[in-house]
Chains A and B, each alone.
Chain A
Amino acid sequence: MTLELTGASRRDLLKASVVSGGLVLSFSIAPKAEAAETAGSQALNAYVRIAPNGLVTIMAKNPEIGQGVKTSLPMMIAEELDVAWENVRIEQADNDPKLFSRQFAGGSLATPMNWDDLRRVGAVARAMLVNAAATAWNCPAGECKTADGHVIHVSTGRKTPYGVLAGQCAGVAAPDPKTVPLKNPKDYKIIGKPKPQYDTKKIVTGAPLFGIDVRLPGMLYATYEKAPVFGAKVASADVDAAKAVKGVKKVFVVDGGTDLSGLLPGVAVVADSWWQAKKGRTALKTKWADHPTAKQNSALFDETAKKLAAGPAQKTLRKDGDPDAAVAGEAKKVEAAYFYPFLAHAPLEPQNTTAWFKDGKLEIWAPSQNPEPGRQLVAKTLGMKPDDITVHMTRCGGGFGRRLSNDYMVEAAWIARETGAPVKLLWSREDDMHHDFYRPAGYHFFSGGVDAKGNVVAWKDHFVTFGQGDQTSSSANIGPTEFPSRFVANFQLDQSTMPLGVPTGPMRAPGSNGIAFAMQSYIDELAHAAGADPLAFRKQLLGDKPMVGEGAGAYNAGRMQGVLAAVEKMSNWKDRAKLPAGTGMGVAFHFSHAGYFAEVVQATVNKATGAVKVDKVWLAADVGRQIVNPLGAMNQVQGAAIEGLSHALYQKITIVDGAAKQSNFGDYPLLRMAAAPPVEVQFVTTDYPPTGLGEPALPPVLPALTNAIFAATGKRIRSLPIDPSQLKA
């Protein structure tokens, strides 16, 4: 029942020696702590060890949060190493940037950032094995090939398994990773083939995998109470009453600081079990000091946003042509204001970390998407050297961006040091809902117009967001190249900000998850104003120039046209007029995280109740030439689409007197089985490097749904979540 504790000892044995082209390739003796079946393994580099029986252990470098990288990244190595997948064993790496460079889960970046490097890790190890065989056979390496974990001498058919050769690799030259030859993709045996998640058996049998499952000898359990108003200090707490609760071992106030991403003021209760700690916490009856954020409210934000929109913008992010003049002519003018709310990430595993401070060193087990900044935060806050802190990465019960922040990690570290015993800090769901880095709310005030031919002649968006002056709150920004920037000659994007004392942060497809709803809904309004088919209108807007812009802001309209055409066909868009009354189809597309996604939703609205039922989603995706693991990719994309529907239908965090009002899944509902539609997916392959897809599938589904509701009812949803009472006939 105890999570296997590995890592620190092993890490010491893997010596980082050669850093080349972003790869760390080291040679070292075999680690001492081996599972029986891979006993006697030889390390070829930081990622690859091979046992005499041929079993290959591959390190999974990045945090696994459900996006499947513990399987897909090792697939890249195994492919080029040329081993049979069933002979691969995967081990989660510790946080160790010296060995594994950047280890994080974010930005849908695992595939694009590792696609080249990890294939080269496998190819270099393979070349070393070939060189070892060639030395043994006294022949040029060029006379050898590899297959299924063997080196083969082509002309004689002589064959030696990797398990034998691995022990002969000491002193063998490792080729330059930058120039090592890579396989022709047509020869792939692992990449592009459906592989179940490596941990699937452990998951379905309930094996301890997650941060919350970590158990250490003599471990105590902690809760940490913070102010509902972010950063407020402790005014009073009945520490003695908490200490009187059975099982409670230690209660103390933590002064904390003012950085909302760091250690905030609060009261820690440490006990023999979490339930006892929770009861102790209830006895605290903590009172909180006044804090200026308590004056902030969602209702006030709404009011302020309207006022800001009525005045001159604080900043113009982009202006092309003259939208005001363009719309003054013959064009049909359309004005609309859009709103999306704050959202909580609510990963299902509540925040937790287990920490053990011993002999001046700290060992941490944490479900973090971003462990190295966590280690740095802990070092800074506790006044320790980063080298005295080890962070083990556990599987994360969801991430969605929440675990890019390591606030819970630093709390656990502090509490463990104060306690002098191993401590597992676990938040309640309410803690999680009240102390998130929320997806920021946003307001878009549009005005623009279309001509009789269905051309968008003017587009103005006054984006009202949160921040101080030009500096927007985390993930509350918009870029000057956001579509339809550059596709409309008279285009203006303005921005105004209002101050916010509530922490915000990236959530799955940050920025895009709200922006797409506003943009693609307003495009729909323009299409209807022009009397055009909303899908054909979008094709016309995208135009026939394939590439628009360059560098980071480049937009490949050709690829977007490709997915739009695919989803048109998949959904049988042209026959949508045959749908029954009360049922409609909507379309939307969005480019984010280097992925091009177009989606169609069919929805039915109940006339009597206004209840929305999503009948089906069709989704076309272009993330380049290669899907690494089709089985995982499909799951990611279907899940992202359904999550987006959940945002649109249910989710909203309201700020009342500086605190999040919602507290659990009763008042912050998530979509459940009965509301989950089928999601039909097509991957459109184009000859571009493979990019990620954890995020970009999400944004288009929200406007596709609200556009479908318009098609079904003639009612335009301009504020999320959807309010069924406004859809009653």
Chain B
Amino acid sequence: MAYKLNVNGKVLEADVEPDTPLLWTLRDTLGITGPKFGCGVAQCGACTVHIDGKATRSCVFPVSAVGAAQVTTIEAMENHPIGKKVQAAWMELDVAQCGYCQPGQIMAATALLAKTPKPTDADIDQAMTNICRCATYTRIRAAIKKASGQAVKA
């Protein structure tokens, strides 16, 4: 079935089965490979995208449920007022190790800051449930604080 999807400000067509998760539509059909596959069951968050601004795990989100919603991926974060700050903080603190989970982490962090501009540690604990197998959590926390203009502990 052909779907018209609003992705990163453009209308893109994808001819896929209705049960195809958005993740695979983005990656295999549309060639948007920033969202990553990690578990396929919404556990790890590597596939996180924004659907109408809300952090969503695209590996279990069927393409048929997207409708007219705006899908935003890591590829568009440079044009996102909060996303670009988050990316800058990530680069400045050199958060990544392998880097595989970081697109998803950045999408989750951007959604958090859009809702809660000055998150506390407890806010971060609650919102940032994505897995980082390299365990860069110390720097992820610090980068979120930095992007939100709060003091960062070394």
Other-chain residue from B74, B78, B94, B133 in contact with A398 (beta carbon distance below 8 A): B133
Most buried by B among A203, A209, A429: A203
Chain A: interface secondary structure? loop
Write the nearest CB–CB distance from A113 to chain B, whole angstroms: 21
Contact of A670 among B28, B97, B133 (CB under 8 A): B133
- Is there an interface contact between B39 and A673, defined as CB atoms closer than 8 Å? no
A679 contacts partner chain B, Cβ-Cβ < 8 Å: yes
Whether the pair A200, B94 counts as a contact (CB closer than 8 A) is: yes
CA distance A664 to B27 in the complex (A): 21
**A348-B131, A638-B135 are contacts. A673–B125 as well, Cβ < 8 Å?**
yes
Interface residues of B in 39-63 (CB under 8 A from A): 39-41, 43-44, 46
Which residue of A194, A213, A279, A396 is within 8 Å of B33 (Cβ)? A213
Per the 8 Å Cβ criterion, residues 190-226 of A in contact with B are 194, 196-197, 199-201, 203-210, 212-213, 215, 221
- In angstroms, Cα B43 to Cα A205, docked, is 22
User: Which A residues lie within 8 Å of B129 (CB)?
Assistant: 672-674
Please report the C-alpha to C-alpha distance between residue A638 and residue B153 in the assembled complex, in whole angstroms. Answer: 15
Q: Is A666 positioned at the interface, with any CB of B under 8 Å from its CB?
A: yes
Q: Which residues of A contact B39 (CB under 8 A)?
A: 429, 664-665
Stretch in contact with the other chain, from A33-41, A450-458, A555-563, A639-647: A639-647
Cβ proximity bits A242-282 to B, threshold 8 Å, 1 near / 0 not = 00001000000000000000000000000001111001000
- Asked whether A349 lies within 8 Å of B36 as measured between CB atoms, the reply is yes
Given the known interface contacts A203-B102, A206-B103, the answer about A639 and B36 at a Cβ–Cβ threshold of 8 Å is: no
Q: Are B133 and A348 in contact (CB under 8 A)?
A: yes
- Chain B CB within 8 A of A347 CB: yes
Chain B residues near A676 (CB, 8 Å)? Answer: 135, 137-138, 141
B7 at the interface (CB under 8 A from A): no
Q: Is the C-beta of A228 less than 8 angstroms from some C-beta in chain B? A: no
Do A398 and B44 have beta carbons less than 8 Å apart?
no
Cα distance, A210 to B17, chains bound together (Å)? 26
Chain B residues with Cβ under 8 A from A279's Cβ? Answer: 17
Name the CB-closest residue of B to A202.
B99
- How far, in whole Å, are A555 and B130 apart by their CA atoms in the complex? 40
Q: Mark B110-149, 1 if CB is under 8 A from A, else 0.
A: 0000000000000011101111111111111100000000
Q: Are B33 and A1 in contact (CB under 8 A)?
A: yes
> For residue A68, which residues in chain B have a CB less than 8 angstroms away from its CB?
97
Assess whether B96 is in contact with A197, with CB atoms less than 8 Å apart: yes
A638 engages B44 (CB within 8 Å): no
Nearest Cβ on chain B to A216's Cβ, whole angstroms: 12
How far is it, in angstroms, between the C-alpha of A346 and the C-alpha of B133 when the chains are bound? Answer: 8
A670-B131, A676-B137 known; A348 vs B75 contact (CB < 8 Å) = no
> Does A595 reach chain B (CB closer than 8 Å)?
no
Given contacts A204-B90, A206-B73, A632-B94, are A639 and B24 in contact (CB under 8 A)? Answer: no
Question: Which residues of B approach A to under 8 Å, CB–CB?
Answer: 16-17, 20-21, 24, 27-29, 31-41, 43-44, 46, 73-75, 77-78, 87, 90-92, 94, 96-103, 106, 124-126, 128-141, 153
Q: Told that A276-B17, A397-B101, A429-B38 touch, could you supply 6 new A-B pairs with CB distance under 8 A?
A: A194-B94, A196-B94, A200-B94, A632-B94, A673-B125, A673-B137
Please list the 10 inter-chain residue pairs (A to B) with the smallest Cβ-Cβ separation, ordered nearest first.
A206-B34, A66-B98, A397-B100, A206-B74, A676-B137, A203-B99, A642-B135, A66-B97, A674-B125, A665-B43
Measuring CB to CB, which residues of chain A are less than 8 angstroms from any residue of chain B? Answer: 1-2, 64-68, 194, 196-197, 199-201, 203-210, 212-213, 215, 221, 246, 273-276, 279, 346-350, 395-400, 426, 428-429, 631-632, 635-636, 638-643, 646, 664-666, 670-674, 676, 678-679
